[in-house]
Amino acid sequence: MTHQPVTRRRALIAAVSAAALAPFPLRAQEYPTKVIRIVNGFAAGGSSDIVARLIAQKLSESLKQQVIVETRTGAGGMIANEYVAKAAPDGYTLIVITGGYPAQSAMLKKLPYDPVRDFAMISPLTFYPFVVSVTPASPFKSIEELIAYAKANPGKLNYATAGIGTLHHLSTELFNVMAGIEMTHVPFKGGTTAVTELMAGRVDVMFETMTLTVTQVQAGKLRPLAVTSAARVAALPGVPALAEVLPGYEVSSFLGLATTAGTPPAIVDRLNREVRLALDQPDIRKRLQDLGGEARASSPEEMRQYIEREIGKWKRVVDARKIEQQ
């Protein structure tokens, strides 16, 4: 009789110890048990917001749990990134990563988080190239003509971007390097303003996402000279890839999902599987194509390696062009 309480205590301690030693597999099996938030660091109505909501709806259906999009704008997405970097590593707080993420990481002297180590990558969602565009009144009918003029007239052509240090900026500077030309940068506050200025003829050329330019191209308000993907795209089949003229040139913006570093691998893998299933659905693929993108998933490790490569690429461009880090 005197040993019974001791035995019970030992059993209780053993049970608690076992639970403490292996909490993640149990939680991963139960996941998700509450609302999942996808944090978007950019304005509602933009491409990151639209795609996040498409994926949130599909994940809600497949996970049998509500998935919502939460907007936290500011500092070029850094406020949202920092929020998720410091969130609980439990798979309930995700972040939309954009093509500007590695460019920003290369441009800034200091970030309030590590762009690779502080995040567990889940999967890319969509990739979309830039379109190199001029106005219909432009004398340039091909990318070769533009390069030839720029070589003969250094600094005379100007190019519009959505701002200093954006992917638009660095992709055009990479073009300068690889083509051996010099064009003058004219930054604006946002891609929409830059496109408006281009159409008004106040700038000569622009590298801008298909999301913002395809409609203008189809309406005859812009003339596309090239796309920046490795190969031609279905939405603009008659437009050459820049790589056809400058072998090795390839730039794609993208949208992807990540979560907080330290999230159990079983949860990250579960989210990766669900994202892949969502991207395989014809309606999602069609919607992403309509937005100028291509649905494309990868493993978490492949996404991490891609982000690292992109940061390295843009750091080399920043160094080569002596662009002042912010």
Residue with tokens 């072998």: 247
Residues 233 and 243: their CA atoms lie apart, in Å, by 13
CA-based nearest residue to 126, from 5, 244, 290, 316? 290
What pLDDT, in 10s, does the model give residues 81-119?
999 999 999 999 999 999 999 999 999 989 999 999 999
Band of the pLDDT at 44, cuts 50, 70, 90?
A: confident
Q: What is the CATH number of the domain that holds 166?
A: 3.40.190.10
Same domain (yes/no): 234, 261: no
HSE-up of residue 23 (Cα within 13 Å, Cβ side): 6
Number of CB atoms found within 10 A of residue 250's CB: 17
Domain match, 265 and 230 both:
no
Q: How far is 157 from 325, CA to CA, in rounded Å?
A: 24
Q: Which amino acid would we find at residue 223?
A: R
Contact 129, 103 (CB under 8 A): no
Q: Average pLDDT, stretch 33-48?
A: 92
Q: How far apart are CA 102 and CA 203, in angstroms?
A: 27
Report the range of poorest mean pLDDT among 108-112, 122-126, 170-174, 208-212: 208-212
- 244, 267, 285: which is the final residue of a domain? 244
Q: Helix or strand or coil: residue 153?
A: coil
pTM: 0.84
99 CB-side CA count, 13 A: 20
Q: Report yes or no on 10 lying in a domain.
A: no
> 21 is written with which tokens?
């030693």
Identify whether the C-beta of residue 308 lies closer than 8 Å to the C-beta of residue 101.
no
State how many domains the chain has.
2
Pairing of strands 36-40, 93-98: parallel
Domain assignment present for residue 8? The answer is no
**Residue 295 covered by a domain:** yes
Which residue range forms the structural domain that includes residue 235? Answer: 129-244
Same domain, 156 and 259: no
Q: pLDDT band for 10, please (50, 70, 90 cuts).
A: low
Residues 124 and 178 in one domain: no
Model pLDDT, residue 215: 85
* Average of per-residue pLDDT across 36-52: 91
Q: Do residues 147 and 89 both lie within one domain?
A: no
Q: What is the pLDDT of residue 1?
A: 47
Instruction: Compute the C-alpha angle 8/11/13, nearest 5°.
Output: 110
60 belongs to a structural domain: yes
Q: Which of 21-25, 94-98, 263-267 has the lowest mean pLDDT?
A: 21-25
Least confident of 31-35, 63-67, 158-162: 158-162
For 286-292, what is the mean pLDDT?
88
CATH number for the domain spanning 98: value is: 3.40.190.150
**What distance in Å separates the CA atoms of residue 103 and residue 59, rounded to the nearest whole number?**
28
Shared domain check, 210 and 268: no
Phi-psi region of 13 (alpha: psi -120 to 50; beta: other; left: phi over 0): alpha
**305 vs 211, more confident:** 305
Q: Are residues 239 and 301 in the same domain?
A: no
In a domain, 281, yes or no: yes
Least confident of 3-12, 76-85, 91-100, 158-167: 3-12
Same domain as 144, residue 186: yes
Band of the pLDDT at 24, cuts 50, 70, 90? very low
**From the DSSP assignment, how many helices (H) and strands (E) are in the chain?**
12, 10
26 occurs within a structural domain: no
Decide if 261 contacts 120 (C-beta within 8 A).
yes
Q: Which one of 176, 211, 244 terminates a domain? A: 244
